[in-house]
Amino acid sequence: MSNPVQEKSQQIIPAVPDVVSLVQITDCHIFATAEDRLRGVNTRHSFEAVSKSVIDNSGHLDLLLATGDLSQDGSVESYTYLAQKIDAMDTATFWLPGNHDEVDVLKEQFIGQQIHAAKHVLIADWQIVLLDSTIRGEVHGRVSQIQLEFLDHCLRAHPEKHALVCLHHQALDTGSLWIDQKGLRDSDQLRENIARHDNIRGVLWGHVHQETHQTIGGVEWMSTPSSCVQFKPDSEEFAIGTEAPGYRHLNLYADGRITTRVHRVDGF
């Protein structure tokens, strides 16, 4: 588990217009080789379709967020491929790890002009906090005391800014028993911490390979489809969904509102 306080932990993006426009891409599951497939999907091809759709349909973008499982096999080649593709999107990109990632390789190889390791991003009237919910060698996750303290530290430092909190594992159950058993073991603790801060407007994650969105107590709780394979919603046991690869676009407004929409790509 990395300690974000020990990393270059804060990045300030110069002032932008009233609305911060960003895209979340998640669960890319890239392999070392170009031919490998996950459940029949070539994850490089689906990522390239997603990135093309982001460029074609998003208009001006301030940020990209990559929320874990960037690689399927933790290989050097998977991260260098993805870094090259992300850099070509020409948008400041921030990342956090997922359970499939090899964090040490990710840190060393997922490098580019547009790729930043900072886990606390200040942009216009907003701050984005990226948490590491991974446990080495495990599929399920835990936010841990260090990460919760980092979250509190960021939010206390900037109470004047609205906050979007990002992590890999689901902060709320999806209703699919099998994936919820592989979720966040300390999600109650995370939700308690979130409830203590009245400037948190959104919580965003991946891992569940499907779109969910609930508004609870003025906070938007959102999961986002994978850029490759989807999981079938509301399934007790592991099952693949038929939905196309996708991503989520978000607008963050100066008054704290979030508007968001999931986009899917054609041809998969």
CB of 210 to Fe ion, least distance (A): 11
CB of 1 to Fe ion, least distance (A): 18
Q: Count the site residues for Fe ion by CB under 5 A.
A: 2
1 within 8 A of 15, measured Cβ to Cβ: no
Q: For residue 125, state whether it binds Fe ion (rule: CB under 5 A).
A: no
CB of 98 to Fe ion, least distance (A): 6
Residue 67: Cβ within 10 Å count: 28
Q: In whole angstroms, what is the distance from residue 67 CA to residue 130 CA?
A: 8
CB of 246 to Fe ion, least distance (A): 13
144-157 and 187-195 helices, crossing angle to 10° = 10
Q: For residue 132, state whether it binds Fe ion (rule: CB under 5 A).
A: no
Among residues 4, 27, 53, 126, which is the contact residue for Fe ion, using CB under 5 A?
27
| Contact map string, positions 43 to 72, toward Fe ion, x by CB under 5 A | --------------------------x---
Segment contacting Fe ion by CB under 5 A, of 19-27, 131-139, 229-237, 242-250: 19-27
> Measured from the CB atom, is 101 or 186 closer to Fe ion?
101
Q: In whole angstroms, what is the distance from residue 231 CA to residue 243 CA?
A: 9
At residue 263, the 3 state secondary structure works out as strand
Q: In whole angstroms, what is the distance from residue 224 CA to residue 67 CA?
A: 10
Q: In whole angstroms, what is the distance from residue 226 CA to residue 238 CA?
A: 15
CB of 36 to Fe ion, least distance (A): 15
b/e map 121-133, b = 16+ CB within 10 Å: bbbbbbbbbbbbb
In the complex, which residues of this chain contact Fe ion (CB under 5 A)? Answer: 27, 69
